[in-house]
Amino acid sequence: MISIPGLNCEAALNRLDGNLSLYFRLVEKYITGQAGIDRAIRANANMQDKTEAIRLTHSLKGLSAGLGAEVVTELSAQLEQGLKGGGDCTSLIDQLECELESTVSNLKQALVEYEDFLVIAVDDLESLVPVPDTLKRVQVLLAASDVEAIELLERLSLHRDASDLKSVLKLARDYKFDEALESFIEVSRDTKEK
């Protein structure tokens, strides 16, 4: 199980059926999408009409809950209620800013470290999905220009001996499915020859 300070990763992963790849994609989106949200909330909370501050706070609450950032979620819920009540929320906004900064810092650190964990976590990928079947599926998906191929390639590329797939994955992420398919077939052929 992954552990990120200040987050209940177990609960978040349970909601995502244990999909680590999806979890870390959400982490990346959270980091970029919530950058400066605390300042926007503060600026809008100081306005006569607090509707935007309430909306931003509600959004932060939901996104934080999805990642298991329980303290940010709770502070966001309190702030949302405070804003709706019309009281002075300066102290809550200060607390939220501090906690959000800490959470984002911890998430950034986890992004640096997660790849090593994922390699360990899916080291026995064959027991989850037989690799030959997965390779056939990737080839079919690439031929159909289906983005699901990207997720399968991500899972396969986590193996210590799958460095050849990284170039295929890059092409697929760039939506160059024809080139990715050609490269994948070449990599598959080279692997069989070894």
- Count of structural domains within the chain: 2
In a domain, 1, yes or no: no
Greater pLDDT, 23 or 134? 23
Tell whether 4 is covered by a domain. no
Q: Distance between CA atoms of 179 and 142, rounded to whole angstroms?
A: 9
pLDDT digits (tens, 9 = 90+) for 48-69: 889 999 999 999 999 999 999 9
CA distance 138 to 193: 19
* Residue 3 falls inside a structural domain: no
Q: Do 97 and 13 share a structural domain?
A: yes
Of 90, 121, 152, which residue sits at a domain end? 121
Could you tell me the CATH number of the domain that includes residue 15?
Answer: 1.20.120
Q: Look at 76-80, 117-121, 175-179 and tell me which has the smallest mean pLDDT.
A: 117-121
Predicted local confidence at residue 80, as pLDDT? 95
Q: Which domain holds residue 149?
A: 125-193
Judge whether residue 121 has pLDDT over 50. no
**DSSP state, residue 159:** S
DSSP secondary structure string for all residues of 65-117: HHHT-HHHHHHHHHHHHHHHHT---HHHHHHHHHHHHHHHHHHHHHHHHHHHH
- The pTM of the full predicted model, rounded to 2 decimals, is 0.60
User: Are residues 139 and 115 part of one domain?
Assistant: no
Domain end among 97, 121, 145? 121
Residue 160 clears pLDDT 90, i.e. is over it: no
pLDDT at 111 over 70: yes
- The residue ranking higher by pLDDT, 17 or 114, is 17
The verdict on 137 and 45 lying in the same domain is no
Of the two residues 158 and 82, the one the predictor is more confident about is 82
Report the pLDDT value the prediction gives residue 95, as an integer from 0 to 100. 96
Based on the fold, state whether residues 34 and 89 are members of the same structural domain.
Answer: yes
Instruction: For residue 173, tell me if it sits in a domain.
Output: yes
Q: Can you tell me which residue has the tokens 């599926």?
A: 137
Residues 139 and 117 in one domain: no
Residues 6+ apart with CB under 8 A from 193: none
Which pLDDT score, from 0 to 100, does residue 51 have?
Answer: 92
Q: Is the same domain home to 37 and 88?
A: yes
pLDDT of residue 194: 55
**Residue 2: inside a domain:** no
Same domain, 133 and 110: no
Counting beta carbons within 10 angstroms of the beta carbon of residue 169, is it exposed (0 to 12), middle (13 to 18) or buried (19 or more)?
buried
d(CA 194, CA 184): 15
> Which tokens belong to 115?
């790849």
- The length of the chain, given as a count of residues: 194
